Structure 1
Amino acid sequence: CSWFYKGTAVPRYVPYTESVAAKLEDMYRNSVTTGEWHRRLILPNNEMVVMHGPTVMVHFLQTSTDTFTSTPSMRQRVVRGCVESEIEDTEPSSIDHLLLLCHGVGSACDMRFRSVEEVVDDFRSTSLQLVQAHYRNSYDSGLVGRVEVLPISWHSSLHSGENGVDTRLAAVTLESIPRLRNFTNDTLLDVLFYTSPVFCQTIIDTVCGELNRIYALFKQRNPNYEGGVSLGGHSLGSVILYDLLSHQTSKDAGRQVSTDKQYVTGTAGTGQPCVKYPHLDFDPDALYALGSPIAIFECIRGVHTLGLDFCLPTCKNFFNIFHPYDPIAYRLEPMVNPQLRDVKPYLIPHHKGRKRMHLGLYFFFTYQDYDGFYHMVSLPVLPVMNYGS
């Protein structure tokens, strides 16, 4: 049976994972049989579900000693079974492509503090809107399907549980400015943990395991699917996927893999932590790095150039997509060919044909004449996207 809870930022129901749903179902059936309620289930991320009765079940976003007296904003309603009125059946059943999306630092993925499981819904709806707007005839005739986007999460495996880092961090964290320190522990420290051989191994194993598990589950539930699969990573998530794909072995004997990566060697050596990279069960069509710091990570590791023949062994396409005002994003192609430093990145056209917001504001404040009228002039192209291969 399916189990849902209300989302933290969007007033709609979010499904639990299958493992959590199975535990909730067992606890629910046991309570119905014995008549004993007010039971608790601690989730892997240290949140808690309390069953007060067959119709009163609550998901507490934060567990504490006074959970039952927590404010309503910290609680979410839990529902057993399918909520028909909350589910919009507007997506076509035909799937043309699968995108596995890996989040970056922290447990929240946007300004509304939503998890990656909630954010992928926007990716699905946006991609479907683009298909309907630009390929209306093909969509209506059933020739074009949709893009399925599934989440890849690793944050809870690193921070929660018996071997999680949150327990260690709590012991050494000062009590002053608690909100800022909690934000630092939950988000910024993920970058430092990834540079540690111990925790880097945990993150890599978790991401690769989730990629293989989600892909196998998708193929099991869509046995006739013949489309491709791509990987997308935001921020640190793109670095994780990049490192994982860089250490895969190509099955194509004729595919040449670059070995021209050059390092700047120091007295203490160079390179990245010693990590055993697991095997990915499929070859992705493309890697989409969104707001990615891959280049700065390579620089920190002492990499001078990636070589003119740079490529990922099992992935034919690599796209580095960024906003020009993103402080975390860096260009990668100058590390492939230094001459590309002077080549402006490709500007992605807006899907509705208008100027993007930063270009519109630049135009408004720069090219407004004294009479209040706008004069059409050629604006400099600002970088939004560049290709890494």
Structure 2
Amino acid sequence: MVTWEAIEDLGVLPTRVWLSRPKLEDENAVNQEKWEPLRKGDCFTLNKQTKPYHPVLIENGRATADAENGIISANFVARSPREMVSCTWFVVKEERNDKHTSDIKPLLEPMPIEHSERVENLYQRAIYAASTYGDGIEPILKETLGLDDKYYIQVRQERSHYVMRKIPQNVISRSLQGSFKLQRGYGSYISEGEQEEDMLGPLNHVVFVVHGIGEAWFSKDKASSMVEQMDQLRLSFQKRQIADWKQKCEAAKKKLQPPPDPPNRVEFLPILWYHKVHNKSSAMTKSLMSVTLNTIPALRSIANDVVLDVLLYMTPNYCHAVLNSVTDEIFSVKGKIEKTFPNFSKKGKFSLIGHSLGSVICWDLLSLKKNSMRDGDNEHGVHIVASKTASNASNIAFIEETSSDEGETFCANAVNENGGGAWGPLLPKALERVLPFEPDFTMFMGSPIGLFLSLRGAHAVFDAIRDAHSQKPLISPFTLPTGAVYNIFSPSDPVAYRLEPLLLKYGTKNFPDPLYLTRLGGGVRGHVKVMQYVDGVIGRLWSKKSVNDKEEAVDENASLNFPLGGHTTRLDYQLQPGFIENEYLSAVKAHSTYFQNTDIIDFVIDVTGREGRIVIDLTID
């Protein structure tokens, strides 16, 4: 019995498959990018549409598909548009290994829909002719279907199979490149992340991720690396979410309990600010380029693109531009989220993650929001206000005590009238607006905040506030408007600094060790326990103190509490080292691999999964 080859769609009528690829800016250029199928659920949604096509939300609201104009646009991130097509027949260009299954898969090129319809008509005629109701397929095998002046289509019998072929009209081209097999339907495929995301509940948490130094260097001549990192973080996060949920389901099954609800979806959205505050035509950029030496251009490019951001951020005008840009972007993306998910504002949460210099930006935004809160909402009863005489204040802070009917109020001379402070930025003028929400949590990764606060003279301010408190507590002298604060770093990261020592009295030594980052309720790995035991033994052997030592040590039995952001009691968390790890070699990549770290992903799963499932609708104009 003769069968058909490359017929993946066995339906009586073929199902349209929708595909996309990056759109070139130059419309006259030949696009060599590979077409990738959209998620099956998105194809189903698009196929339900009737002409004229209306824009459709796809990828769980992250993008909008405009089938009429053949464009897919990202909704929340700065990403180049994609072009989209639909078809039912494909040209098989070549075969290669599938990255998901390791099976041999064809590389498919979609045929234009009008060509697909003509090929489908020929295929249906051949099917009928070969059936018991037809007159035989031999006349069909002799037919040719001209597509254009370059190719024609023909049904051929090859051994025990019938196959549709696309054949060059030119004899020379035919002898050089041969013919191409046609395939009906795309066949089985897996869109990365679709299965996991379909198992999750609706979106209930949005995490804004503010990038740090070097974004210009990483994003040269390609899509923004931060956007790509957030895509990969979301995929890894969801896979571990589902794996964690399945374990809980198995545990519930053994206890004869009902399975828990699936976890809700979490979005990680990058907040990109570099290109909004840098302009190649600006006087500063031109001046910088004029003084840059022509030697070792690769290294000097790193210096200009990476180190320069830190130096510029310490200048008031540039700092103001960055904070304004980040705030505007957060307002914009937040508005798009609430427009796409109308019910999100009722139950959804927003949080912040800052990486590298981005963590300093997040700190400063929270500091400015704190200063804008009239009653301060400070659980320790100490409020920070702007000094009216400190518009040109030094970075070295000192405290002036004043009286108030509401309690003790302190003015730090490093706090200027535009909202900055000894722990926040010194700005030339006030920001137009502050953060539009109080983050559920704020997470700093590879953060130099400790360095910036030290340079701003914050330690002296914190001590003065603490000393004025009636109980003189061993706690944070103030809080930030966020539900929780975590300062996470790799011990090998040369850019990372601690925060907790700044919140202890100046002169304190034997600071509490940072905690190891673990799952909530979990412990450290075995080799880390051994390291802790050895370090403890050595520490006790060398911990004898001189009677003349006037520095104070933290009482090892004291209950340390650093409620800098609501309910968290500790701030500094270090990543667990590997079994075999050289800190100098690890330093090369430590600062750039936080978003791939599974311990961090698991920790964020715990932090964002504190509440149950909610229901949120999607909408589009």
TM range (shorter): 0.5 to 0.7
1:312 offset after TM fit, Å? 4.3
Kindly indicate whether the alpha-carbon contact (under 8 Å) linking 1:287 and 1:315 is maintained by their aligned counterparts in 2. Answer: yes
Q: Which residue of 2 aligns with 1:239?
A: 360
1:115 aligns with 2:225: yes
Between stretches 97-106 and 297-306, larger displacement belongs to 297-306
Residues 138 and 144 of structure 1 are in contact (CA less than 8 Å); yes or no, is this contact kept in structure 2? no
Counterpart CA distance in 1 for 2:501 and 2:267 is 33
In the superposition, relative to structure 1, how do residues 101 and 204 fare at CA in structure 2: closer, same or farther (>3 Å)? same
Q: How far apart are the structure 2 equivalents of 1:299 and 1:329?
A: 13
Q: 1:119 to 1:310 in 2, by over 3 A?
A: farther
Aligned residues: 310
User: 3-state SS of the aligned residue for 1:233?
Assistant: strand
Write the distance in 2 (CA, Å) between the matches of 1:297 and 1:379: 33
Tell me the SS of whatever aligns to 1:95: strand
The answer to whether the 8 Å contact 2:317/2:427 transfers is no
In structure 2, relative to structure 1, the CA distance for the partners of 1:333 and 1:180 (3 Å cut) is: same
In 1, Cα distance between the equivalents of 2:280 and 2:271? Answer: 18
2:194 is aligned, of 80, 89, 98, to 89
Partner in structure 1 of residue 343 of structure 2: 224
Q: Does 1:194 align with 2:313?
A: yes
Q: Work out whether 1:273 is the aligned partner of 2:442.
A: no
1:246 and 1:312 in contact (8 A); partners too: no
The CA deviation at 1:173 is 1.2
Structure 1 unaligned regions, length at least 5: 6-23, 25-39, 41-48, 59-76, 364-376
Amino acid at match of 2:496: A
Question: Where does residue 272 of structure 2 map in the other structure?
Answer: 153
TM superposition shift of 1:3 = 8.2
**Structure whose alpha-carbon radius of gyration is higher:** 2
Assess, with a 3 A threshold, how the Cα gap between structure 1 residues 85 and 55 changes in structure 2: closer, same or farther: farther
Find the counterpart in structure 2 of residue 135 from structure 1. 245
Task: Please give the alpha-carbon distance, in whole angstroms, between the structure 2 residues aligned to 1:216 and 1:248.
Answer: 19
Superposition deviation, residue 320 in structure 1: 0.8
CA–CA separation in structure 1 for the residues paired with 2:30 and 2:192: 22
Specify which of 209, 215, 229 is matched with residue 101 of structure 1: 209
Cα separation, partners in 2 of 1:298 and 1:336, compared to 1, 3 Å: same
The one-letter code sitting in structure 1 at the alignment partner of 2:240 is: L
Matches within 5 A, 1:1-389: 5=22, 49-53=25-29, 55=31, 79-81=82-84, 88-90=193-195, 91=197, 92=200, 94-107=202-215, 115-136=225-246, 142-160=261-279, 162-163=281-282, 165-225=284-344, 226-249=347-370, 253=375, 255-256=377-378, 258-259=382-383, 264-265=396-397, 271=422, 272-275=425-428, 276-277=430-431, 278-305=433-460, 306=462, 307=466, 308-338=475-505, 342-349=511-518, 355=525, 359=528, 378-380=533-535, 387=571
Counterpart Cα distance in 2 of 1:157 and 1:198: 14
Identity over aligned pairs, percent? 27
- TM-score, structure 2 as length reference: 0.43
Deviation sequence 1:61-114 (CA, Å, 0-9, x none)? xxxxxxxxxxxxxxxx9841379976642313612321110111011569x996
Paired residue type of 2:495: I
Amino acid paired to 2:440: D
One-letter code aligned to 2:338: K
Per-residue CA deviations over 1:326-355 (Å, capped at 9, x if unaligned) read 111111112112358521111112799884
Deviation at 1:185, TM superposition (A): 0.6
* 5+ long unaligned stretches in structure 2: 1-18, 35-79, 87-188, 250-258, 386-394, 399-412, 415-421, 467-474, 537-568, 574-621
SS in 2 for 1:378: helix
Distance in structure 1 (CA, Å) of the matches to 2:225 and 2:191: 19
Instruction: Give the root-mean-square deviation of aligned CA atoms.
Output: 4.2
Distance change in 2, residues 1:86/1:131 (3 Å): closer
* TM-score, normalised via structure 1 length: 0.66
| Residue 287 to residue 258, structure 1, CA distance change in 2 (3 Å) | farther
